[in-house]
Structure 1
């Protein structure tokens, strides 16, 4: 290889290394992959009202330098597109920008759950911002504008775990102020999902604006995590994984199969596509093992007590009318 060729090879290698770091975010495992059909959709493409409601309470973890001030009330989201970062142009969403390092979701007015490998220390907490409504619209799928009021700082870590032995991976953090314009998500408090139950994941694959991906099922579950055929990538770490029917959070997306593979012919990377039942699956920390969650969030509201109406007393059967002698005489004479 001549000097120029070697230089180009090193340049491509450097770009791929940078992208790999960005998409896995110091990850414990590379995340993730497409199983069967690619079920990822932009929020603007989704019609399911339950999914749309859930997406409002999901957030992206973004570096401050990737938010450019437009005016006193708004930011523009900066960052490279997938194509600029070395992904093949034919890949879905290759023209969209990638600003989120991880995903998270609202569980209380000022508390977010994410993956433990996303927020390991107070330094990580201080380094990143959390943005709601990081999504494209029907009129523009390239530029994203955020209201400043939807961007929050991480105040402190409430609990965090990243354990190689048990494979528990979660973080519960407190934001700098309350989120007042959207509701915390409902999450499982006890037990675990059953194999075969349908799932949907909402987050930021490859750092992209919010994507909703359904069509997955629980493959296996133990006391710490479940395994499923979710269509997820780096950047989805920390995403809420929901029961697709009830909308209840079952867990936190944390790791899985390698997401992109290198195409030697095109000199770029493409999605790793597997059959729906192939591979080891994506792993999801069960929300029920997050330490301190019930304590800081509180018990779920009790359903309203419905008092059944008091049964009415049965009416006495009507008695035959007794006629006086003169009424009987009138009836006899005139048929009255």
Structure 2
């Protein structure tokens, strides 16, 4: 499961660290995610394709309410967040080293006030403590999203539907009000099949929105399919789009280990696999969200 969870600070890094422990009080589950082949992740400002930008517009970052502070007079929300590279002891040449990492999971807008994410990201128990922030993205090189408009911040009101098993992993969330100014994603009625080209959009390792193409479906399983998306903890709940139709075909939920420890450099590096190697990334079929939507619309 790929939600980023809070842990105590651990000051020692072991060369045998198969699961990564953060310095800034955030860490990943052991079986998180990885880069396959070339790292295809791009910031939103690096993309000009209107279709891709429309897909990214439906993406939201799940951020704890405790890390958000609203200035009522300006309607601006300050986001308390760490620094990706420093928090996780990364090697200085890691991509996005200096960017913030405020997100815990990702989500996608699927109705006026409905958002889909991974089932392990949110439950009835912690819904009231979570917010979903749209436009959590880099504004340009070095332009970190330290603030958000209050109009882009929505709270989890209710878990409408949720399933968390070894096969299915999804949740349908009702937000505290209808979303204004953002695109509702189109959901595919046609299941993804082996060889289909994919685009992943979400918040790898809690980073501002990243768009990653260059992925394909490897195989289909019961309730989910496996692909070679470049994804990390924090991408859980990210929408996986068909590169052909632009429609959502699934939600990223689990996968390969994110990081490997560099003994010589005494720092942590992204885990790179050849496109056909490693276990692959598991993606819940969007049909389960479509079925859940029919019960509330």
Q: What is the TM-score normalised by the length of structure 1?
A: 0.79
Q: How many residues align?
A: 282
Give the Cα separation in 2 of the matches to 1:65 and 1:198: 38
Look up the match of 2:224.
Answer: 225
Structure 2 contact 23–86 (Cα < 8 Å) conserved: no
Look up the match of 1:22.
Answer: 26
Structure with the larger helix share: 1
Q: Aligned pair in 2 of structure 1 residues 279, 118: CA closer, same or farther (>3 Å)?
A: same
Q: 1:93 aligns with which of 78, 85, 96?
A: 96
Look up the match of 1:11.
Answer: 11
Q: 1:130 aligns with which of 118, 129, 132?
A: 132
Unaligned 5+ segments in structure 1 are: 1-9, 298-336
Look up the match of 2:5.
Answer: none
Structure 1 contact 34–271 (Cα < 8 Å) conserved: yes
Alignment partner of 1:142 is 2:144: yes
Kindly state the Cα deviation for residue 30 of structure 1 after the two structures are TM-superposed. 2.2
2:295 partner SS = helix
Look up the match of 2:272.
Answer: 273
Give the Cα separation in 2 of the matches to 1:23 and 1:53: 30
Give the Cα separation in 2 of the matches to 1:65 and 1:140: 25
- Identify the structure with bigger relative contact order (alpha carbons < 8 Å, sequence gap 6+): 2
Structure 1 contact 78–97 (Cα < 8 Å) conserved: no
Unaligned 5+ segments in structure 2 are: 1-9
- Which of structure 1's runs of 4+ aligned residues deviate more than 6 A? none
Task: Indicate the RMSD between aligned Cα atoms, in angstroms.
Answer: 2.2
Structure 2 contact 66–129 (Cα < 8 Å) conserved: no
Look up the match of 1:213.
Answer: 212
Kindly state the Cα deviation for residue 129 of structure 1 after the two structures are TM-superposed. 0.7
Give the Cα separation in 2 of the matches to 1:261 and 1:82: 16
1:276 partner SS = coil
Structure with the larger strand share: 2
Give the Cα separation in 1 of the matches to 2:52 and 2:286: 19
Look up the match of 1:116.
Answer: 119
Kindly state the Cα deviation for residue 143 of structure 1 after the two structures are TM-superposed. 4.3
Look up the match of 2:36.
Answer: 35
Kindly state the Cα deviation for residue 295 of structure 1 after the two structures are TM-superposed. 2.8
